[in-house]
């Protein structure tokens, strides 16, 4: 247990220490630098928006997978996991060939901010679905029947009985999906074109800082991301507890 804690904590501390080495001024200049700030803004906004989309769509997909029977369900199950299985740079290649300049679908988002959203959506799709699915499978049908016999409509049953049971799983999936979005690199680096102020995300920004031998700067940006991720996870946890207490 201690070993695993150390395994996680040491690199985290190293990042913060490296960031601190440059002193507060360096830290502040780095993160208020226009290009960096724009990258952070894009990353966080995109990750947040994508997480919201996942929170809405994820449980729906899980619901269909658990409750409905249809032809090709097995294939869909497999499809959901593809973003997990694909190496991200391969995912990036796939996205580039599908939505790049030579898009066979006629959708060209290359070098546009929307490409970042698209890549995030692609790689974070499975998180909420896969967190919610087992919980939904565990839900007993007789609980819903009990609600119905007490006079509840389908909607009331969903809102008062099913949704509260799913909330912890949705929150956990959302946290994972947000964290993954913030840290994503491979899948968007090809499609987005990494244009400063437009499509450059923090992970790309960090890499270029490192390439320019600006380790303190890279660590500063990384620290900001770390704090944001931590905040989001704590926020979702608090939200989940609130919901649990309220009912």
Which one, of 7, 125, 117, 29, lies nearest residue 77 by Cα? 125
Q: Examine residue 67 and tell whether it contacts another protein (CB under 8 A).
A: no
Stretch of residues binding another protein (CB under 8 A), selected from 126-134, 151-159, 206-214, 228-236: 151-159
Among 3, 150, 211, 213, binds another protein (CB under 8 A): 150
Do 136 and 223 meet the contact criterion of CB atoms below 8 Å apart?
Answer: no
What is the nearest approach in angstroms of another protein to the Cβ of residue 58? 20
Q: Examine residue 68 and tell whether it contacts another protein (CB under 8 A).
A: no
Stretch of residues binding another protein (CB under 8 A), selected from 108-116, 138-146, 190-198, 222-230: 138-146
Residue recorded with tokens 């946890």: 237
Do 139 and 161 meet the contact criterion of CB atoms below 8 Å apart?
Answer: no
- Site size for another protein (CB under 8 A): 19
Do 214 and 146 meet the contact criterion of CB atoms below 8 Å apart?
Answer: no
Residue recorded with tokens 């999906």: 177
Q: Examine residue 143 and tell whether it contacts another protein (CB under 8 A).
A: yes
Q: Examine residue 147 and tell whether it contacts another protein (CB under 8 A).
A: yes
* Residues at the contact surface with another protein, assessed by CB under 8 A: 140, 142-143, 145-153, 156, 160-161, 164-165, 244, 247
């Amino acid at each position: 247990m201690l070993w695993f804690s150390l395994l996680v904590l040491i690199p985290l501390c190293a990042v913060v220490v490296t960031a601190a080495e440059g002193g507060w001024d360096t830290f502040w200049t780095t993160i208020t630098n226009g290009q960096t700030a724009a990258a952070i803004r894009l990353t966080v906004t995109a990750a947040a928006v994508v997480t919201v989309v996942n929170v809405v769509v994820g449980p729906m997909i899980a619901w269909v997978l658990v409750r409905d029977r249809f032809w090709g369900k097995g294939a869909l199950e497999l499809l959901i996991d593809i973003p997990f299985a694909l190496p991200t740079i391969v995912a990036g290649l796939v996205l580039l060939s599908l939505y790049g300049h030579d898009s066979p679908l006629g959708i060209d988002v290359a070098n546009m901010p929307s490409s970042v959203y698209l890549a995030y959506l692609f790689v974070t799709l499975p998180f909420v679905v896969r967190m919610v699915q087992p919980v939904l499978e565990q839900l007993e049908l007789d609980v819903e029947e009990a609600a119905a016999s007490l006079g509840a409509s389908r909607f009331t049953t969903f809102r008062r009985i099913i949704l509260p049971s799913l909330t912890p799983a949705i929150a956990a999936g959302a946290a994972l999906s947000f964290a993954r979005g913030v840290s994503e690199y491979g899948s968007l680096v090809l499609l987005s074109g990494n244009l400063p102020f437009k499509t450059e995300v923090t992970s790309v920004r960090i890499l270029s800082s490192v390439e320019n031998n600006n380790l303190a700067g890279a660590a500063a940006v990384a620290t900001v991301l770390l704090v944001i991720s931590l905040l989001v996870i704590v926020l979702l946890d608090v939200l989940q507890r609130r919901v649990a207490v309220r009912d």
